[in-house]
Structure formats: structure tokens, C-alpha cells
A and B are shown apart, each in its own frame.
Chain A
Amino acid sequence: MLSEAAANEIKEIRKRYATARSCIMPCLYVVQREYGYITEEGMREIAKILGVQPVLVFEVSTFYTMYNKKPVGKYHVQVCTNISCSILDGEHIVDVISRKLGIKVKETTPDKKFTLSTVECLGSCGTAPMMQINDKYYENLNDAKVEDILNGLR
């Protein structure tokens, strides 16, 4: 069950839009925060509170990549491998992290602390190579910096 605070948040969101359906995206974020990822139960609760068919919530959740359909680690490490980061060897950053954490891309450490992903351009190309961990951007990366950042999260 969603917490009361979350259910209230959904009601607040409803005030911002002309239609109930428009609230689906922000509500999915509420569910993701509550459960750690997008659960079927959570999606059904959204549908119920908003008064829309559950399928309308399901179809939105699968279109957008930031809704995690599986649990991710406490820290979701997302390294950009698009063009500007790649020119400055973003792939090397992926390797460094992979070695340090002992996991491959798309994997989670056994203690569920870290998930490693590669992502498309994050709009931080002037400070490449870069990565995002949860909500935070880490830019102008090099081996030592990556090492420090990950140690700081342990």
C-alpha cells in the first residue's frame, strides 16, 4: 500500500493538470520512490486513485526508461557513453567502475548497493566524461575521481 503521504501527494498532483491521465507520469515517480521501483501493485493504486484504466498506467511505465521495472541498487551508477563522452573515453570510465565494483553493465552488486548502467547523453557534454548516480551528476571524471566518488558511497 502507498503511504498516506504518497496518496496525498497524488491528490496534489491531480490539481496541476486538466486531465487525470496527465498525472500518470508524476505518479509513477511517487510509486518509484515508495517501492524503490515500479511495482504492479503501485501502478494499480495509481489507476485507482486517478480513476483511469490500469492499462493506461502500464503502457506509460514501459515507454520511458527512467521508470525501473526491476529493483536497482541503492546507488544507480549511470555512465554516459554517447559521442562527446566517448571521445574523451567514457568507455574507460565504465571499465574502471566495473572492475572496482566487480560487476558488468546492467548488473547489481550482491549486497544490492550498486547497479551499473550505461546511458545516452545526459546533457553534460562540456564536462565529459560524466556519470549520474541517483539524482546527482559527477563530471570531468578520471580514474582517481571515480575511485574517490565510489569510496565515498560505500
Chain B
Amino acid sequence: MNSFTLIVIIIIYLAVLFYIAFLAEKKRQSKWVNNPYVYTLSLAVFCSAWTYYGSVGIAANSGINFLPIYLGPVIAAPLWIIVLRKIIRISKQHKISSIADFISLRYGNNRFLGALVTIICLFGTLPYISLQLKAVSETFEIMSDDTSYISTSIIDDSTFYVALLLAVFAAFFGTQNTDASEKHKGIVATVAFESVLKLVFFTIIGGYITFYLFDGTTDIYDKISNTENFKELTTLSGIEDGFNWFFMIALSFMSIFLLPRQFQVMVLENNREKHLKKAIWLFPLYLLLFNIFVIFIAWAGKLTFGSTQNAEYYSLLLPLEHGNSLLATLVFLGGFSAVISMVVVSTLALSTMVSNNLIIPYGFLDKFIKNQPERNSKYIKSIRRISIFTIIISAYFFYVSFSKELSLYSIGLISFVIIAQLAPSFFIGLFWNRGSSKAAIIGMIIGFLIAIYTLVLPFTLQAYTGTDYFTQHGLFGIAALKPNALLGIDFLSPPAHAFFWSISFNLMSYLVFSLVSKGNYRERNYAEMFVDSKSFTSLQENAFVWKGEAYVSDVKNVLVRFLGEERATRALKIFFTKHKLPLDTQLGDARLINFSEKLLTGSIGSASAKILIASVVKEEQISLVEVLKILEESKENIVNNKVLLEKSNELSQLSSKLKDANKELISKDKQKDEFLDTVAHELKTPITGIRAATELLMDEDDDMPQEMKAQFLKNILQDSERLGRLIHNILDFEKLETGRLNLDLEYLDIQKTIAKAIGSISQIAAKKGVKIVVNNVHSFKINYDEDRILQVLTNLLSNAIKFCQPQTGKIYIDYKLGNALVEISVTDNGKGIPEEDHAFVFDKFYQSKHQNTIKPQGSGLGLAITKQIVEKHQGKIWAKKGIKNGATFVFTIPFK
């Protein structure tokens, strides 16, 4: 293919990526951008050109040794739910913007530690980026026809321009916000898109090679198993290989957490914790799919080319060999995708680190304090953009100077070993609060130096001097110092060897120095926050130990420089409201310091934030003893608060009980009022009648006819009787209700009592033409107060008569003997009781309660008294429900 055509394809492809990134940024809130699949696919930035091309190379040359690099992440995935969730939470809380920020914050915002981590990441990532450039460059050469052409200067090296294009892309979408802890949706979306492409294209070429060029997996296996060296490629050779595998798995296990680009996509770009649940199985599945065809492509390449070609590019060379340039172009684009995502995310992560942990804290802070907010934000963005360009260009020069001689695979491993130096302080620091910043720094430096000595120095010296004397004989010719066989350990592969020694010394230094030297109060503070994950949210708010003076206005001034007036004011307002402080608070406390540092962390990194805030407050040194005391106190406070909370809960429960009681009292009062009201009304009515009649009779001027006089006198008598009954009822009721009525129990026949009751009321019934029928004529003797039960029966009967139609009315009385009670019922065929009134018929003056202004028939006390009497006999009374015509009242009298 013409190299010009290829460049056009690349540019079109890049345009598509720009468009996707642009769309994703525009629709930041859309579901297409924020879902667990995009998140998982963005994690697949792990599969760079190293995976895409390098795996095949290693599979062809040393068999299944390409696998451990993927086994580490697979083993790590289930742990994400615990470890990664904790990391994500802490990072979100503190607006962490890079792994350097994360580690430096854990060790009390140590500025030097942040810088050190950044340097290690730079050293670890630059070769890795150059590996990607190398892959682009070499595949470009393979794809284009003019293979003989070798670039002589930067100006005509296409790789340089590709690198520049990548830098533009990363700079544009990576620095939209000053706050680096903001999400980069555009970049994440393109990375996810590219992850799909690289997997699909790699699988297509794998299928094409295995099933089209060859006759399936068995065919390839049969053919390759006949070649020499086959056994070496497919088996582990003894304990040494076992160790190599172990260290490679450990190495990749750490890398999946520590590689700056993995930290970027896994932690910083995560917008929902629950996406992890999907990622823990989907990501290993992705890796599995990616590795299915690796070994077959490698064998197919070996069968086709022998050892005449670079095995890393078999996937590209095989379709080209068979004249299928379309497939080759797809493979090329897949590889290119792997490259772009890796380069863009890595440089984004690195540029944040470089600006927040190197450039700003070591050179620009003074300037920032004097500048206006707009200029500051411009500065920060410029620093990041320049960092991105510098990193990519440096990687390009690294590629030009070194990596031409090295395989992709070995460059990748160098990166892994260097990055692994962060592991002890990172992992142990999450779970062990003794780990101190000094120990972290010493461990990292020692590990880093050992890694340089055992891994980087040999090939650098070889590249410059052209001999491998150093590797063969060691420093000053001392055999024990041979870089690939320190102290005689010569059975490990160089990367495993370097990893083993560097990480061992690193770990040991970290542990020893942590135990020997205690961290200062600030470190202890942050250590508590990171380690005590259960209560870390509250700890972050409360346990920050700080002593000194801080004026809110000073702190605000600093915030304004970076956030602008409006955002700073708003943030402080939120802070004051949250902590229930007056808005014009003048002196800040630890919480304000903590809050302000957090606010600035996103923009300038945690170390710089600490320095900036410290510059405007007067901080006093506190001894460790004091810190521990304060921490104890805060724990005590928490306990006290708990007790207080319980008390306050109790109080509020009590108060709600009081409220209920009060309500009940009020309603009782109201009832009492109503009762008195009705009583008054009932008393006034006959009195009115009596008074009016008496007045008329007394008028001496009046010559009232004799029969009229007689009528009025009769009325007076009636009303007096009514008044007497009413007073009797009220007194009765009052006695019953207050329990002052004693029953006069006798052993009597209920049948006879019923007959008495009917007898006393028969006149009224006969007058209305209502029939009363007794169904049961058996006699039962039980204990009861006859007068009272008579009262009950006559009340029920007279009610029944009242509600019956004249002439057609019929009342049935029945009684049944149960095990321990007699059940007596009075049924009429009158107008019945409305369904909704059933619950109230026994209330005193119940009519007045529900039909307030409608005149009660009778005193309204009859049934209430009846109920009291029955209950006084330990019985029950109720009106039967669901009766179609008329009403049935039932009461019981128990006996022993």
C-alpha cells in the first residue's frame, strides 16, 4: 500500500475518534457514555500494542509465557470490589487527580513523595509510550510498499507526525477542565470504542489465519508439533520457569492497579461504584477473548515464515503474504487503536502528575498566589498541555535512541518493573496505618535504583558502548554484582530477576523504616483516614488534627485564585451551611483547612494545595502524643455523640408520646364538652316546656279554657318526668363510668327476667302495634343483678320498638347457653343501623357526634349505659353486622 494512502486512512480514522470524543463530551450525561460497559471497555486500555503485537511475538519465541501478564489482572479482578472500591471512594472524597496524588495524600500530602512517584511513573511510562510509537512506526513500514526506506531525520519520519497528532488529541480532550479530577468523558468514550475495534479486528485476523489460511486449530497444532523445539515452547521447564511465572503474575497483578493509565480509567474516570460489579467479570472475559488466537497466530506465523520475520507482526504479515491488504489494513487500524488509547490516557495521566506534583509545587506556587483566577486556570492548562507534548516527544526520542534494538515485550516489562516500585507504599499503606512517608520514600528510591541497575542500565550501556561487558561481568567486574544475576541468582529471566530484587529491597525498607521512624501527626491523620475504611467518611471530616490560626478571609483569597470569586464563595457557603456555622465566621478550624485543601487538590494536586493553604494560616506543630490524645478525644466524642443521639432519640420518642397523649386529652376534652353540651340541651328542652306552660298558666289576665289548662298541666308533668329520667340516667351513667356502681348479684332464671322486661314495656309495644316474641322458653339460672339486666333489656326493647314500623313491627328475643356464657339477642325488623354507625352506637350521645345538629331520639345515653352494665357483668355487647332488615343487638353474661 502506498504510504500516502495509509496516512490518509490514519487521518480519517483520527477524525472519527475526534468526532466520538466530541460527541461524548457534548452528551456527558447520556446513558451511552455512562454505563458499566463503557467503563469496562475503557479498562481494556490495558491491552496496548504490547498485547496486540507483543503477545504473538512472545508466544512464537517462548510459548505460553505471554499468559502470566494477563493472569495477574484476572486474579486481581475479584479483589477490585474491596480494594478498588476503597481507592475510588478515597479518591472521590479528596478529588484525587493521579496516583501520585493518591500516594502523597496517604502519607500526609508529602510534596517530595508526590514528586518521586511522578518521576517513577515517568520513567516507567516513557519506554512504554515509545513502545507504542515503535509499533506504529514498524507496522507503518510493513504496510507501506517502500520497506527499504529508512528515515534519516525527524522531519521525514512519519512516526514523529503520528506522535504529534496523538499529542494534539490528548491535549485537546485532556485539558478541558482546570480541575483534573473532573471526568474526561470524550477520552473514555474513544478508548472504549477503540477497545471494541482492537478486539474485533484481532479476533477476525485470528479466525482468518486459523480457519482460512489453515484448517483450524488441530491443523496448526499437528503441523507445529512436528517441528523442532516444539516441546520447549509448550511446557514449563522446571522450577525456574515456575518462579518466572510467579513473578510475572505478581508483576502484572500490581500493574493493573498502579500503571498511571489504569489508575486514570479505573479510579479517576469511574463515575459509579456499581460499575465495578460488571467490570470484575467482564474485564477478565475481554482478556480471555483477546488471548484465544494468540498462540495459533504465532504458530501459523512460525510455520509460514520460520524465523525470517519479526514474530510480533505475524498478524499483519500473514494477510499481506496472502495478498489480503484489506484485512491487513484492519489489523493495522486495530493496532493503531491500541496505540492511541494507551498513549492518550498515559500522557493525560502523566501530564496531570507532572504539573500537579512537579511543576506547580516546585516552581509556580508563588506566581499562582499573585495571579488572577482566569490567568491561573490558563496557566494550569498550559502547563498540562506542554507536559503532554513534552512527554510524547520525549517518548519519541527514547524510541529513536533505544527501543529500536529491543522487542516490544521487553520494553513493556521494563515499564512494569519500574512502576511496581509504587506497590509497597500503595498497597500496604491502604491497610496499615504505621506506614510512614519516610519509609515510602526510602523504599521507592532503593527499589527504583535496583530496577535501573538490573534492567535499564544493561541495555542502555549496550546501546551506547556496543558491548555487553557490564552484563557479563558486573560492576567493576564483581560477579555478585552482575545486573542479571545479583548475588548469584541467575536462574530468573532479567525482568523477573529485577522485579524480585527491587521489590524485595523496597518492601523491606518500607517495613523497617515504618517501624523505626514514626510519621508526624499529619501523616498519622491521613493514614487513619485511608486505613479505617469503615468510618473513613466521618474520619475525613472529623479526625483531621490541626492546631493553629486560620482566617477565613485568607483562605478564601487563596480559593478565589483558583476557583474564581463565585465558586469560592459558593463552596464556602456550602461548607458553613453543612457544619451549621454562621456565614460570617471569621476564624477557621481544621475542617475548613481540610475542606479547602480538598477543593484545591483537583486543580493543583494535594501537595500544592497543602502548601498553598499552609502559606496563609499559622500552623502550630503538634507532638504525636498530642495527636493521639486528640484522636482519642475525637473517638470519645464519637462515642459521646452516639450516647447523645440515643438520648435525643429517646426524647423525641417521649415527646411524640406526649403529643399523642395531649391529642387524646384534647379529644377527651372535646368529648367532655360535647357531652356537657348535649346534656345541657337535653335538660333545657323539658325545662323550656315547663317554664313556658307555667308562665301561660300563671297569667291571671288570661281566661284560658279549662281543657287547655289541663293540657298544659299534663305537659308540665310529662316534662318533669322526662327531666327526672334524664337526671337518673346521667347519674347512673356517671356511676357506671367511674366504677362506683356495685352489682347486686343473684342466682336467677334469665327467662323470668326477660318476661318481666317484656311485661314492663308491653303497653308501649301494644300501643304501636309491635309484637314481641320470645323464641326460647327453657330456663337458665345464672348470677346477675336483675335490676340492671332489666334496665339493659328494656332499653334494647324500647329502642327496637322506637325503630320499628307501627303495626308491622316484630321483635324477637332469643337466648342461648354456651360453655361459659349466656348469649341474649334482641332482633327487630325496623330501619336498622347504618353500616358506618356500628362502631359508635354505644358511645354516649353517639348521634350528636356524627350528625351534630340532628336531634337525638331519646337521651342518647341508653345504649352507653347498657354497655356499661353488660361490661360490669364481664360480658360483651355488640350490634350484629350485615343484617339486611332491622337490627340485632347481642349481649353475653358469663358464668363459672
A and B found bound together: no
